[in-house]
Chains A and B, each alone.
Chain A
Amino acid sequence: KQEVTQIPAALSVPEGENLVLNCSFTDSAIYNLQWFRQDPGKGLTSLLLIQSSQREQTSGRLNASLDKSSGRSTLYIAASQPGDSATYLCAVRGGANNLFFGTGTRLTVIP
């Protein structure tokens, strides 16, 4: 069964820093990988989706990369802001209906 791991579990950085969140998965046979943001007590907001044939996706200050062969993805956040504080979840799609989630990285950006 696919297992998704996110390290670190929590991260605190001063405002303005660039940072990288990590996601690893055990089975490289995936359709795509998706990064989500979750604010406390709220639903998930999709940030970026990378198809299995792609290497990276960019949206504003966010850049996600995918190395399927090594089972790794990173989410790079440039020039972090206090509003970026949230939990970031990585999810891997192993089939038409199976979305496997990591446990998330809780990010705090300190003003």
Chain B
Amino acid sequence: DGGITQSPKYLFRKEGQNVTLSCEQNLNHDAMYWYRQDPGQGLRLIYYSQIVNDFQKGDIAEGYSVSREKKESFPLTVTSAQKNPTAFYLCASSAKTSGSETQYFGPGTRLLVL
């Protein structure tokens, strides 16, 4: 089956700890994205990557880091600098970034702070 997988489904972070959220796609898509969803707010873009070994900050990149070493993988690290990390994190991918393509989303990871 082609699609986007995210793991884990739930993640707990202790204060001062860095945690990494996994996102993998087998759709052969060039572009990948990370969004954060909070109750009562629209999705907000954290980081995106158009191609391997390249990524750009989105609207709320502070306290987060990413890597894109492989086309199919785009992990997101929530660092200790992110003071309010509790949210639902969604990864997405698209075939190209011309503006005409559909973004496909993974099932999400819910991050909770202990």
B41 touches A98 (CB 8 A): no
Q: Are the CB atoms of A97 and B42 closer together than 8 Å?
A: no
Q: A91 to chain B: which residues have CB within 8 Å?
A: 43
Interface size of A as a range:
20 to 34
Chain A interface: which of B13-21, B79-87, B102-110? B102-110
> When the two chains form their complex, are residues B102 and A96 in contact, meaning their CB atoms are under 8 A apart?
no
List the A side residues contacting B98 at CB < 8 Å: 96
B: contact size bracket: 20 to 34
Flag if B103 contacts A46 (CB, 8 Å).
Answer: yes
B22 CB within 8 Å of chain A: no
Q: CB of B40 within 8 A of chain A? A: yes
The contact of A103 among B40, B50, B100, by CB within 8 Å, is B40
Which residues of chain A from 80 to 99 have any CB-CB distance to chain B below 8 Å in the complex? Answer: 89, 91, 93, 95-99
The interface centre, meaning the residue of A42, A43, A100 with most chain B CB atoms within 10 A of its CB, is A43
Best-surrounded residue of B35, B88, B105 (most CB of chain A within 10 A): B105
Which of the residues A32, A45, A96, A104 comes within 8 Å of B97, measured between beta carbons? Answer: A96
Interface residues of A (CB under 8 A from B): 4, 31-32, 34, 36, 41-46, 49, 51, 89, 91, 93, 95-104
A-B contact pairs, 28 of them (CB 8 A): A4-B42, A32-B99, A36-B105, A41-B108, A42-B108, A43-B4, A43-B90, A43-B105, A43-B107, A44-B90, A46-B103, A46-B104, A49-B102, A51-B100, A89-B43, A91-B43, A95-B99, A96-B98, A96-B99, A97-B33, A97-B48, A97-B50, A97-B56, A99-B33, A101-B42, A101-B43, A102-B42, A103-B41
Which B residues lie at the A interface, using CB under 8 A? Answer: 4, 6, 31, 33, 35, 40-45, 48, 50, 56, 58, 88, 90, 92, 97-100, 102-108, 110
